[in-house]
Amino acid sequence: MDFEKKKLIFLLKKDKSTKGSIDNDIKYLLEKINSLNDYFTTSSCSGRIVLLTTQEKKSSKFIFVSHQPCNLPKITQNCWLMVEPIILHVRCRNLNAANILLDLVLRAGLGKSGLISLDGLLLEINSTERIVNYLTPNLNQEYITELNEIANNKLKKMKEKIFVLIKSIEFSNQDSC
């Protein structure tokens, strides 16, 4: 099956994410990438702050989730605070197109990005802003407040990188960025 047909089929699929919708902060970036002939996005998250019952997401219960800077709720049970960076998967038409987009991504500061599959040329866009911290109800509130501020700053930094990437793609103004 050719690239255009794969792109059309994939973009017509229903969103299968747990949230069931695209994060607002990343929607315009996805539209920009998907409007280009040489790319289509397959999954995305704009970055988030979460509280989980265990460190393993698949076996954990989400206590709190925010894709925006926020005030953490009162910690009433032992839990894990995680700040997760942007993650975006993009299928690329060819290696040249992948390299062009990867160059823009890295210049935007999304330094944990690269090709993760040559089969179908899948580019993962990722960043380094991450926190994994165990919290308990008896922690000093000042510590939790400071950690909350650090988490919010990391999330804001990710949102700035998304904006820089959008501007880079717009400025390049080509089918392959």
Which position has the higher pLDDT, 153 or 58?
153
What is the predicted pLDDT for the residue at 19? 64
CATH of 3-172, one of 3.90.1420.10, 3.30.1960.10, 3.40.50.1950, 3.40.190.10: 3.30.1960.10
Q: How confident is the model at residue 6 (pLDDT cuts 50, 70, 90)?
A: very high
Where in the chain are the domains? 3-172
Give the model's pLDDT for residue 21: 74
> What single string gives the DSSP state of each residue in the chain?
--HHHHHHHHHHSPP-SSS-S--HHHHHHHHHHHHSTTEEEEEEE--EEEEESSS-GGGPPEEEEESS--PPPP--S-EEEEEE--EEEEEESSHHHHHHHHHHHHHTT--S-EEEETTTTEEEEE-S--EEEEE-TTS-HHHHHHHHHHHHHHHHHHHHHHHHHHHHHHHH-STT-
Q: Please state, rounded to an integer, the average pLDDT across all residues of the chain.
A: 92
pLDDT of residue 174: 62
